[in-house]
């Protein structure tokens, strides 16, 4: 069993790698590697796409790594291997992002990434810190995770999904903010599970044993 964390120069992957390695060891879920090699991605049993920064810059970095998107499309969409997007990696699942300029996403989950505009002007953007999860739809990812558990968020834009059935969990920051999306073999989390202590580790462990 191999989990590939895709490296496309979108941020420091050390903490994510260590968190996934720890939980893979605890769950008996095989090996975890960080890779920018499309052939390795194609061999993976599970794929994780992290990311930090602005949507257009991450999109460019991803597509500058020749063959990575094609490998993701093959292994995730055609072979239906379990996939998790984290932060910008989750936002890339959208139809398009509107950060600085309109940028096309993967269009795997319909919707767009828009700037957070809180209804309360005293609330700051970026949305940064610990927020409670409101679980909207049951999913194996949430096994052992109760509503109200806190996760760590850092973002200025949020994923507005077209189909509310694909918004698995949300949080509040002057309005509803998508926290988790998913359908079929895809899940994406806006927060950083590797920085979300016990709850984040539980979610990672659930992903590593998920059989969609």
Active site residues: 87, 192, 194
Determine the 3-state secondary structure of 167 from DSSP.
strand
Query: Does residue 180 contact residue 187 with C-beta atoms inside 8 Å?
Result: yes
Q: Which spans in 28-132 are helix H?
A: 38-43, 55-64, 68-72, 88-91
- The number of helix segments (H) and strand segments (E) in the chain equals 6, 14
Token readout for 78 is 């055609």
d(CA 3, CA 28): 12
d(CA 110, CA 51): 20
User: What's the distance, CA 2 to chain centroid?
Assistant: 18
Torsion of CA 206, 82, 56, 32, to 10 degrees: 70
Residue 72, exposed/middle/buried by CB under 10 A (0-12, 13-18, 19+)?
buried
């Amino acid at each position: 069993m191999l989990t590939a964390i895709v490296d496309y120069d979108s941020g420091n992957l050390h903490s994510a790698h260590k968190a996934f390695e720890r939980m893979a060891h605890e769950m008996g879920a095989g090996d975890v590697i960080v890779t920018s090699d499309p052939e390795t991605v194609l061999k993976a049993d599970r794929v994780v796409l992290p990311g930090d920064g602005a949507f257009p810059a991450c999109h460019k970095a991803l597509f500058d790594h020749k063959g990575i998107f094609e490998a993701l499309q093959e292994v995730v969409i055609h072979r239906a291997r379990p996939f998790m997007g984290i932060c910008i990696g989750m936002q890339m699942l959208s139809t398009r992002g509107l950060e600085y300029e309109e940028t096309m996403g993967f269009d795997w989950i319909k919707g767009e990434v828009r700037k957070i505009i809180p209804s309360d002007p005293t609330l700051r953007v970026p949305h940064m810190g610990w927020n409670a999860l409101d679980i909207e739809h049951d999913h194996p990812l949430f096994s052992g995770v109760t509503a109200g558990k806190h996760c760590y968020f850092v973002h200025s834009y949020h994923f507005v999904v077209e189909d509310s059935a694909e918004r698995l969990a949300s949080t509040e920051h002057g309005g509803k903010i998508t926290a988790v999306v998913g359908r079929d073999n895809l899940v994406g989390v806006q927060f950083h599970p590797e920085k979300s202590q016990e709850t984040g580790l539980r979610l990672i462990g659930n992903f590593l044993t998920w059989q969609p």
